[in-house]
Chains A and B, each alone.
Chain A
Amino acid sequence: MAERQHVLDAISLRLREVIPALRDAAPEADTDLRDYPEFDSLGVLELLVWIENEFSLTIPDEELTVESFSTPAKIADYIVARG
């Protein structure tokens, strides 16, 4: 079971790597990632592939939408619930 703060920190770090606009200002837990063009429907999948590898888990849901993963907090909650 992944610990929520640990997950949130890791997500934040990863987002700063992949979204240039977040490089100098870390995202808040409730930052709406849909504001960043990198975070389109494929961007979400790229992040989830990274999460699967990073946390050695499999995300079983078939319906993965940008809306469900629109903030770091929502992503972390999802990972913790299913991890």
Chain B
Amino acid sequence: MMSPGIFAAVAAAAGRATDPALITGDRSWSRDELLAVAAELSEALLRRHAGGAVVVETRDPVATVLLTLAADRAGLPLLHRDPATGAGPSGPGAAVRPGADESPYLGSVRVADGPEAASGLPADAQVFFTSGSTGVPTAVVRSSAAVLADARRVADFLGYRPDAAVVCAAPTFHAYGFNYGLLGPLVSGAPVRLLPSRCLPSACAAAVRAVDARTLIALPAHYGLLAQGAGRQGTVAQDLARLNAAVSAGAALPPAVRQRAGGMAELPLYNCYGSSEAGAMTLTRVEPGQEAGDLGEPLPGVRVRLTEGELQVQSSSLALGRFGPGTGGRLVPVAGPDGWYRTGDLARRSVTSPERLLLYGRAAAVINVAGEKVSPAEVEQVIARHPGVLDVSVAAAADEVRGEVPVARVVLRPGAVLSGLVDWCRAELAPQQMPRAFEPVDRIPRSATGKALRKPPQDDR
């Protein structure tokens, strides 16, 4: 059997395969042990799944690792579902009951029965769910090559290696914890100590000390808790000051953390700017007094451009596409036809050091349609894919019942007709995303900075 991707990459990692690779509160696993159990699990998955997608719903990082390796070895797509949000677009799916002679880790598996399962995911797909701007889970589909490229990019940047352990307190069912706190260490041969995501700073510090870690992968909330206790917890601060990098991602760092309250002056804090769709784009040291929007420079291999102020990226770790609200049950590419992924974030280049990117806002506000959040950028991306559309701008218009509704202004290609576009949008967009009015215009008015002026079209009803 071919073993492409993740299983092979972990098997080929640096360092001794019999040394501890993955350490939890109750035991440690060597790479050899992980690969052996994963090989058994992959046979079990093949017996039970005639080619379907595998859904893993667990807080146990060991189950996540074993089933990721197993599904990869078996050539089955894997969906990592957040246990807190429960059923995603895939529906609950049938739970797998391990037989007496099978690994209990099979019990974390569900068989996907939703649109992702039916729509032909690539065999090497790794799918993560993100709430995105709409609040409804969107499934982001990445190839194992993209996941590995992302994990390796960050692991190389942070210097993961067999004698530089990692501690991960971020949940591993999300892309951040999975890629940089689990897969990155495993493919680099760096031992990783995994903590539950609801853990105290003292537990993080104890873990860092116990494995002599060089990197901590944690959430902004962990650093926020650290700042609250920093005044008195001298030993916690001392333990964490041994790190080369204390990494945060997912949300803004609390101001007290940015300013290094109390005993946090020595904490080597890094902020990771990234997304499930694009992977890590920048990873930058956070210094006291630094601007909150300072993203630093793009990571090696990440190309960026600013188009009308919007930050767009290309890299080997871009997702293939996503399922979710407005994708009509199909896999919609995350990158445009030109290969660039639109982050939806507005950024500018630093005057003093043009490689540094400074974030200053979102390209698109959210339209609140009777409580359903609609991202104008996402609607614009869908409409822009229509072959008859040259340019598009989506904005909010007042609606007496729903509060707000999306409306679109479009620049049509000569010969294209509006009715065709409207029918096409009905098929492609969720009901709340569907613009209530389409106004054909000769050009989209833009501000001096190039940003589309989101004035709604005249209501002609």
Chain A interface (Cβ < 8 Å from any Cβ of B): 41-42, 44-46, 48-50, 52-53, 56, 58-65
Interface pair B231/A62, CB less than 8 Å apart: no
The digit string for B214-237, where 1 denotes a CB below 8 A from any CB of A, is 000000010001001101110000
Please give, as numbers and ranges, the residues of chain B lying within 8 Å of A61 by CB-CB distance: 203
A35 to B200, CA, bound (A): 23
Interface pair A62/B25, CB less than 8 Å apart: yes
Please give, as numbers and ranges, the residues of chain B lying within 8 Å of A58 by CB-CB distance: 202, 206
Interface pair A52/B202, CB less than 8 Å apart: yes
Interface pair B198/A41, CB less than 8 Å apart: yes
Contact of B196 among A50, A56, A60, A62 (CB under 8 A): A62
- Closest B residue to A48 by beta carbon equals B200
Contact of B200 among A52, A56, A65 (CB under 8 A): A52
Chain B interface (Cβ < 8 Å from any Cβ of A): 25, 195-196, 198-203, 206, 221, 225, 228-229, 231-233
Please give, as numbers and ranges, the residues of chain A lying within 8 Å of B225 by CB-CB distance: 42, 45-46, 49
Interface pair A52/B233, CB less than 8 Å apart: yes
Known contacts A52-B202, A58-B202, A58-B206: A63-B228 contact under CB 8 Å: no
Interface pair B231/A53, CB less than 8 Å apart: yes
A61 to B198, CA, bound (A): 11
A42 to B195, CA, bound (A): 15
Interface pair A45/B231, CB less than 8 Å apart: no
What's the nearest-Cβ distance from chain A to residue B66, in Å?
A: 20
Interface pair B229/A49, CB less than 8 Å apart: yes
Known contacts A52-B233, A53-B231, A53-B232: A45-B200 contact under CB 8 Å: yes
Please give, as numbers and ranges, the residues of chain B lying within 8 Å of A53 by CB-CB distance: 229, 231-233
Q: List 14 A-B contacts (CB under 8 A).
A: A41-B198, A42-B221, A45-B198, A45-B199, A45-B225, A48-B200, A49-B201, A49-B229, A52-B200, A52-B202, A62-B195, A62-B199, A63-B196, A64-B200
- Closest B residue to A42 by beta carbon equals B221
What's the nearest-Cβ distance from chain A to residue B138, in Å?
A: 24
Tell which of B195, B198, B221, B231 has the most Cβ of chain A within 10 Å: B198
Please give, as numbers and ranges, the residues of chain B lying within 8 Å of A65 by CB-CB distance: 198
What's the nearest-Cβ distance from chain B to residue A47, in Å?
A: 10
- Closest B residue to A64 by beta carbon equals B198
Contact of A59 among B196, B198, B200, B232 (CB under 8 A): B200
Interface pair B196/A64, CB less than 8 Å apart: yes
A52 to B231, CA, bound (A): 12
A56 to B199, CA, bound (A): 18
- Closest B residue to A58 by beta carbon equals B202
Known contacts A41-B198, A62-B195, A65-B198: A49-B228 contact under CB 8 Å: yes
Contact of B228 among A44, A46, A60 (CB under 8 A): A46
A53 to B389, CA, bound (A): 61
Tell which of A49, A50, A58, A65 has the most Cβ of chain B within 10 Å: A49
